[in-house]
Amino acid sequence: MSDNEGLLDDELYLEKVYLAESYKEMANDFFKKQDFERAIELYTKAIETDPNVATYHANRSFAYLKTECFGYALEDASKAIELDKNYIKGYYRRAAAYMSLSKFTRALKDFETVVKASPYDKDAKLKYTECNKIVKKLAFEKAISIEENQKNIADSINLEAMTIDDDYIGPQLEDGKVTVKFMQELLKWYKDERKLPRKYAYKILLDVKTWFMAQPSLIDVAIPDDSKFTICGDIHGQFYDLLNIFELNGLPSETNPYLFNGDFVDRGSFSVECIFTLFGFKLLYPNHFFMSRGNHESAMMNRMYGFDGEVKAKYTTQMALLFTEVYNWLPLAHLLNNRVIVMHGGLFSRDNVTLKEIREIVRNRQPPDEGVMCELLWSDPQPQPGRASSKRGVGVQFGPDITQKFLELNKLDYVVRSHEVKNDGYEIGHDGKCITVFSAPNYCDTMGNRGAFITLNGKDMKPNFRTYEAVPHPDVKPMQYATSLLKFMC
């Protein structure tokens, strides 16, 4: 090779390095603006230009964490470590991905690597200590559950022993029942940042558990021709945005039925207010107010993302355990007029799943890591045909052909699901056959997205979309009650 050829190769190499760095810097700017999707696009360009730089993969891993693509985040962090075994940020990112996937032992191992490499890093030491506490606590709880039969918390609640303060002036149950007046006053009470008495809170939980226990896993909903029906997506503890939905669309009633499609709690720091509002309306209008389980209605997600801590701060550990029992009985999907199926996550890793199979799921448990129940809660659509590994690390991604096969097999018109932030609050995919609706605007006070809900009528079942911006809320940050290891995620 001549000297000139060598110089040309060097120039091309430097040009490639400069271009990749330019993409990275632009991506960093978008990341700072919290435009994570655009940041991911530009980090991807940097990786395509120069795939052997650990920083690019680690940065994209962080952006994937912000968009809850935990499976992708794990892959990128692992690639960064593969490229540079001494790149500490890679271990940080991988530990965060493992934490988000509830793989705490693996996260602890990566935090340990960080601490050994940087023994004077106080932040690393704190993360290691916190993760170690979680691992030990889970091991202890596992040992206890093996030694004892798991107790039914509902059976241990003694409502008669609970009192209500004489100076309490808030909403009152009438003969132990939720009424229209109670719900109207409860919304005002919560808006003023007040708390429902413990006795009433427990009564609502016990009653709603009894109701859900009697329901199948797939609920049939009949919508008359001339009736409006509303579907809402994720609320995630954003109580003041929930109030705004009712302002825009009317309070639930027998003539204004609703379906809330999972992820009522976590991340947002008004989750207690959201869930008691929704459970209250369920008890008031049991045949006209519906709730599907989301992937965040689970013990581990609640522990990580704030709901467990919020319940313990506002009430008791016992109540947090009771919520887990109630969530285990939430229905998994709803069938509207035998034409539209609504579930939180999405479709399946095999083609032969029928409505009958969904209806017969034994759901009184924590969500499994695979199978139909898991996929109902965790899966996501993708634009390309076929299936792919989940970007979240749980569930599956499914294409338009998969959706079409499922609809044909079960004689359905289309699927409605939630589970993903969308800039407009909704997205119509798969040739109109797979609709996403997300009802938490400016998710986590950072995403800048609009919220949306769907209205339809029984005659044509055509979806209509109403979008809206976030409304102000009291100065309580999202993830206020989350484990300290994940507060940076929001």
Residues in the chain: 490
At residue 20's C-alpha, the angle toward residues 56 and 49, to 5°, is: 90
Cα separation of 468 and 398, whole Å? 29
The owner of tokens 């039969």 is 149
Please name which of 158, 232, 153, 143 lies closest in space to residue 436, comparing C-alpha atoms: 232
Cα separation of 272 and 275, whole Å? 5
Longest CA pairwise span in the chain (Å)? 95
Rg, Å, the chain Cα set: 24
Q: Which two tokens stand for residue 185?
A: 């006053």
Alpha-carbon separation of residue 393 from 21, 99, 297, 344, 370 (angstroms): 29, 12, 18, 17, 11
Cα separation of 438 and 436, whole Å? 7
Alpha-carbon separation of residue 23 from 16, 305, 380, 443 (angstroms): 11, 32, 28, 27
Please name which of 376, 377, 400, 374 lies closest in space to residue 388, comparing C-alpha atoms: 400
β pairing state of 396-398 and 380-381: parallel
Beta-carbon-side half-sphere exposure of residue 390 (alpha carbons within 13 Å)? 24
360 contacts 434 by C-beta, under 8 angstroms: no
Beta-carbon-side half-sphere exposure of residue 84 (alpha carbons within 13 Å)? 17
Cα separation of 472 and 241, whole Å? 8
Residue 296 a catalytic site member = yes
Instruction: Report the amino acid identity of residue 249.
Output: N
Cα separation of 159 and 161, whole Å? 5
Q: Which two tokens stand for residue 8?
A: 């040309």
Q: Which helix (H) or strand (E) holds 65?
A: helix 54-66
Q: Is 382 exposed, middle or buried (0-12, 13-18, 19+ CB in 10 A)?
A: buried
Please name which of 333, 341, 356, 170 lies closest in space to residue 262, comparing C-alpha atoms: 333
Catalytic residue, chosen from 57, 236, 288, 296, is: 296
At residue 347's C-alpha, the angle toward residues 346 and 348, to 5°, is: 135
Q: What positions carry a catalytic annotation?
A: 296
